[in-house]
Amino acid sequence: MLDVKLKRGPQVVLPKDAALIAGFTGLGAGDKVIDTGAGSGWLSVFLGNIVGKDGKVTAYEKREEFADIARKNVRKAGLDGIVEIKVKDAALGFDETGVNLVTLDCADSDLLVPNAFAALKKGGWCVGYVPHVEQARKFVLAGEAQGFTHMRTVECIVRDWLIRERGCRPENTGLTHTGFLSFLRKP
């Protein structure tokens, strides 16, 4: 993904957060994923590169103009056939079942938890990506009420360091808060 310049429309999930999703869930080649709130498709492309030709990423986006950007990014990344962008409101349910991972990067993601539970296979993961800690709380509580096990909620902050002869210190700028990631697992 990093060697291809993807277009940025709506807010994107950056590689620092996408890597945590892949790492903490153990996502691998051949897995099936639902990515909800595709936006510009950056997370879908990242996940598509991991699941590869034997896997599948189905991304739900209810806004046609965002889905169009995501489709173009998928094509640019060479992932046609691996990543599919659907224009559909995820509140109406998912068409897929037996998936390994559902990501929910959308407003009121807590309301989509039952749909994620129904789509996941046993041991599957549901990850909520939200900007506010109050939303993370609502998401986790909705997940536990649905029957998920809350594994962790994290925030990933990346801070570059200035390394020089006379001393080392953090840079004055960095990539700090982008969102909270809450990891739920279907028992």
Q: Where are the domains of the chain?
A: 15-185
To the nearest whole number, what is the mean pLDDT of the chain? 93
CATH T-level fold of 15-185: Rossmann fold (3.40.50)
What's the distance, CA 173 to chain centroid? 25
**In the 8-state DSSP scheme, what is residue 106?**
S
Alpha carbons 54 and 57: distance in angstroms, whole number: 11
What's the predicted TM-score (pTM) here? 0.91
DSSP-derived 3-state class of residue 39 = coil
* Tens-place pLDDT, residues 31-71: 999 999 999 999 999 999 999 999 999 999 999 999 999 99
- Contacts of 167-171 with CB under 8 Å at 24 or more apart are none
Contact of 54 with 41, CB cutoff 8 Å? no
